[in-house]
Amino acid sequence: MKYLTVNGIKILFSNEKNILEIMKKKCIDIPTLCYHKELSVYGACRLCIVEVEGRGILPACSTLPENAMQIRTNTERIKEIRKIIIELMLANHDRECPTCAKSETCSLQILSRRFGIDEIRFRNVTNKKSKDSSTYSLIVDPSKCVLCGSCVRFCDEIQGIGVLDFMNRGAQSKICPGGNNMNLLSSGCVYCGQCIRVCPTGAIVPKSEVNYVWKALSNPNKKVIVAIAPAVRTAIGEVFGLSDKNGTKIAGKIVSALRYIGFTKIFDISFFADMTIVEEANEFMDRLEKMKNIPMFTSCCPAWVIFVEKYYPDFIPNISSCRSPQGMYGSVVKKIMPKILGVSKENLVVVSIVPCTAKKFEARRHELSKEGIADIDYVLTVHELVRMIEESGLDFRKIDISSFDMPCGFKTGAGIIFGTSGGVTEAVLRNIMNNNGKCDKDVIDANKFTRFDFVRGDEGLRKVKVNLNGKDLNIAIVHGLKNASKILESIKSNDNEKDKYSFVEVMACPGGCVGGAGQPIYKNLNVRNARTKMLYENDRIIKFHNPQDNLYVSKIYKDHFGNPGSKQACEYLHTRYKYAKKFKKVFEIYRPLNDDYVKINICFGNNCIQKGAKDILKHIVKFIENNNYENNIGISISICLEKCSKGPIVTVAEEVIEFCNFELAEKTIIKKLRDKIRG
């Protein structure tokens, strides 16, 4: 067995990839701002340095462990270097910490306290940069960025989108979407917010709507209704130091807190998840019968829906037309509650509390409104709920437990497990397979399907098979958008006959909603797994497990919508999606001081990005810098040149290059430069 000697103590190791991993497993906390186990090693912050005998000071994140290595982690020299690194970061950082949304969880602030930094020896060179608040979901503050690159790597390596990247060099370096002048709204961002989770500072945070909700609550003419998503109850206890095996006590405390705060009715979005399942299962069976738009994709994750709209528009007809549980919540409540509460629709304010930043965008979709009135008025994340509880002065740990309001507070276990990857699939199977089919794997109850353990798990792509009325159905469960791209490309190429899917569940966030960007920040994957386990435990102890057993859902249908798939149901419980083609806009990246230069334009439309436009841009920039062409060439990016089937599209001095690659771009640039010299 191989070993290291760390600070005089022998530590065994086996197949760990770097020294940092070994330390973490042995509960030795080496400071770092840029290391995440889920991502590639970048080594930007250099805080994880250790002293290796015979080799000097090395970064623990990128140093391979070797047998009999002698390592020291806290020498005076190392501590001084770490302090200098942190002070240099702080000297170039917006230090308005009390007003920062991430103040309590900011890694830079935590490390500053840990290393006893009470003064900064370097001159403050902070250059206040403007915030990007162009989207409904996120706010980007480059003044708080430490250039760790975690957001860039996550967006590229896990989500496969690559919206964010480094721009410029030296003191002018920054992270932004695509071009220097581009904002998130103009980019291919899908608002999943996973960049928030890995950002160590407050450089990327959810866009808060707390003040708007407080304003509505203080208006005597308004009735404010709120509902919490299933995954919310699994995480809020982490903030207040409470443990709850199945989340029921914490859910009860949340209800009490919301009542104290002043909400008129408190509902459970799990109720509307039950409705979603009933409607989605009906739609799926109808599609199967007609063999139309198969496979059917789930529609409960708004970031996934945006992803398809922007990057794979050919698959839009395959997305279930069912609204997400949040979408159904807003529509149903705005329909039935004005009469019950004796208030006009205009004075009914509907708020949802979710683990997701993309839900903020979803609530603003014009498809989720009627007669100019939005179905969902405001969307809060768990972070924002915690803030409201703290602002109210409530002691969450000691608060009593209350029950949700009826009818929309009743739910089955199927609605609860919506919050984790595989939960939607299992809920749909419970609905359609009960007494109608059999599975290719054992289930708990052979007569009545209540659990489908074989769809559960944490793999990014899971494939299962069920038999429905004698017909085999291939089903895929996917989380993480890079995995979603893989399965979409597989379906497009149709290269594997046995993988022809009937039903595909996709969630943008790893692990599903339990890993959403609106949840408390976590680095250890065990935290996410514990949240998932809590949802399944809640499902286990609840009395009803199948959505068709929710009597209140049945009553809502009877009183307002008739049968699943009816005309009324389609109007209120379904929606439509469309190709989210970006508007035409040009962003300059390089512009020489003189006006006589070769102009290069690269299309950054969704399709071109998917086909490698970002790599072409990087190659051209490197080509210009290596050849000292900064004064001869100008670069811009545009959205969009409308030649989506022929991308990537690059224009060099008005010559349009279709199906462009590095070689073609470089060859054309050299030719145009020579023509200009001869000219």
Catalytic residue among 209, 238, 279, 283: 283
3-state SS, residue 597: coil
Catalytic residue among 176, 513, 640, 644: 513
Q: What would the DSSP string read from start to end of 332-345?
A: HHHHHHHHHHT--G
**Is 513 tagged catalytic?**
yes
Catalytic residue among 362, 384, 426, 505: 362
Nearest to 560 by CA among 226, 269, 263, 275: 275
**DSSP single-letter state for residue 324:** P
Q: Where do we find the tokens 């046995």? A: 498
Sign of CA dihedral 79, 84, 87, 89: negative
**Cα–Cα distance between 498 and 13 in angstroms, integer?**
41
**DSSP single-letter state for residue 624:** H
Both structure tokens of 415: 């609605």
**Is 359 tagged catalytic?**
yes
**Is 320 tagged catalytic?**
yes
Catalytic residue among 320, 324, 502, 638: 320
| Omega cis (within 30) before 355 | no
**Is 362 tagged catalytic?**
yes
Give 151's contacts (C-beta < 8 A, 6+ positions apart): 164, 175, 195, 198, 199, 203, 204
Catalytic residue among 359, 360, 482, 614: 359
**Is 280 tagged catalytic?**
yes
Catalytic residue among 238, 280, 384, 426: 280
**Is 279 tagged catalytic?**
no
**Cα–Cα distance between 146 and 33 in angstroms, integer?**
9
Catalytic residue among 66, 80, 104, 367: 367
Q: How many CB atoms lie within 10 A of CB 91?
A: 15
Catalytic residue among 45, 106, 300, 603: 300
CA 520 from chain center: how many Å? Answer: 13
Strand 204-206 vs strand 503-507: parallel, antiparallel, or unpaired?
A: unpaired
**Is 588 tagged catalytic?**
no
**Angle subtended at Cα 377 by Cα 391 and Cα 305, rounded to the nearest 5 degrees:** 110
**DSSP single-letter state for residue 400:** P
**Cα–Cα distance between 402 and 258 in angstroms, integer?**
10
Both structure tokens of 518: 């609106």
What are the residue numbers of the active site? Answer: 280, 283, 300, 320, 359, 362, 367, 513
